[in-house]
Homo-oligomer: A and B are copies of this chain.
């Protein structure tokens, strides 16, 4: 039984995590949120109280901390007496926050792979470059670390495990498809921090096919998908965290990630990239000012957190998993549909942040009750998915299964 949670980060996903933790503080205990800018943490706590989101009276406090400073994070963990850290800060702070959790033996949850700010798209498997190097240290310290525990990565890893466990003897392919059929009403915007968002698409697209890493360029491989609720949508093979752990855990399957993009997004992205405006390497202006183009693009784009009030439409994210059962081909689509407006009404965020922020809170609750308190480092597909699905059915992200002509809740599909 672990209790008391420290949230690291104060962006759009942290906002969702804060609201969901508050809604479940009977299970989670004291709540704390920390980032470099304490005023952002305070604003999130205010929004929690404005919604009356605290399930019962309890602690929710804001703190200033630099996530790059392991000593400072360690001291904060000790001072506050927290036993679970949900890291939804910048992906640049993963390893320093994890270090603090290993030193203190508390549980660690994150939602995206560690990144070095000076590098884009390192060699696969990405988890092998940083996180998995600390696996033995986690085990020694009895530190539970659940990596990539948002939606994608996160829920889609659990979807893959569920599909293989329940419906197949052998798995042949796992295709993760992420479609945002929402409309934010702006000329152009990213749904996350543009700096992080664009970094996903400027490097090599790694997929795991025929038992080896394959390399493509972004927007080189596209396919039209016909998905529940959102209908026919074009998606492109993209690099994404979960491919790198699923390929290790299901090496016999082809593992690909597909991200939906409209023609307009691709056009804007292509122009910016071809001009060099998405570069993380500084350029020097005629006036001698050294500046990183991507940071200027970020400065002119809408702040993604401002999109929520006018965001309409739905997301559909799921796994099409193919394999064989009793010698016959079988195909199952495990998925969730979320609504931007519903997310805003509930927690003040758009649907993309909502889908990313609710699962790590579910993980924290399952660590709190012992179910997921593994005492070591895991990716989500290494955990039994059913307790997670059961919990998420009740807190906002129900899992559905499309199998042959049937489209039902996950529990009905295996009943």
Contact = CB atoms under 8 A, between A and B. Distances in A.
Interface of A: 187-188, 195, 267-268, 271-272, 274-277, 279, 283-287, 289, 291-293, 295-301
Contact of A271 (B267, B292, B295, B299): B267
**This chain: copies in complex:** 2
A187 B291 contact: no
B299 A295 contact: no
Contacts of A267: 267, 271
Contact of A300 (B279, B295, B300): B279
B301 A296 contact: no
B296 A283 contact: yes
B286 A298 contact: yes
A283 B268 contact: no
Contacts of A300: 275-277, 279, 283, 293
A238 B275 CA distance: 24
B295 A286 contact: yes
A285 to B, nearest CB: 4
Contacts of A276: 300
A299 B284 contact: yes
A283 B303 CA distance: 13
Nearest to A187: B274
Contacts of A268: 271, 275
Contacts of A292: 285
The residue in A276, A279, A285, A298 that gathers the most chain B C-beta atoms within 10 A of its C-beta is A285
8 contacts: A267-B267, A268-B271, A275-B300, A277-B277, A277-B296, A286-B298, A289-B289, A291-B291
A92 to B, nearest CB: 13
Q: What 7 pairs between A and B have smallest CB-CB spacing?
A: A276-B300, A283-B299, A285-B295, A271-B271, A187-B274, A285-B299, A296-B296
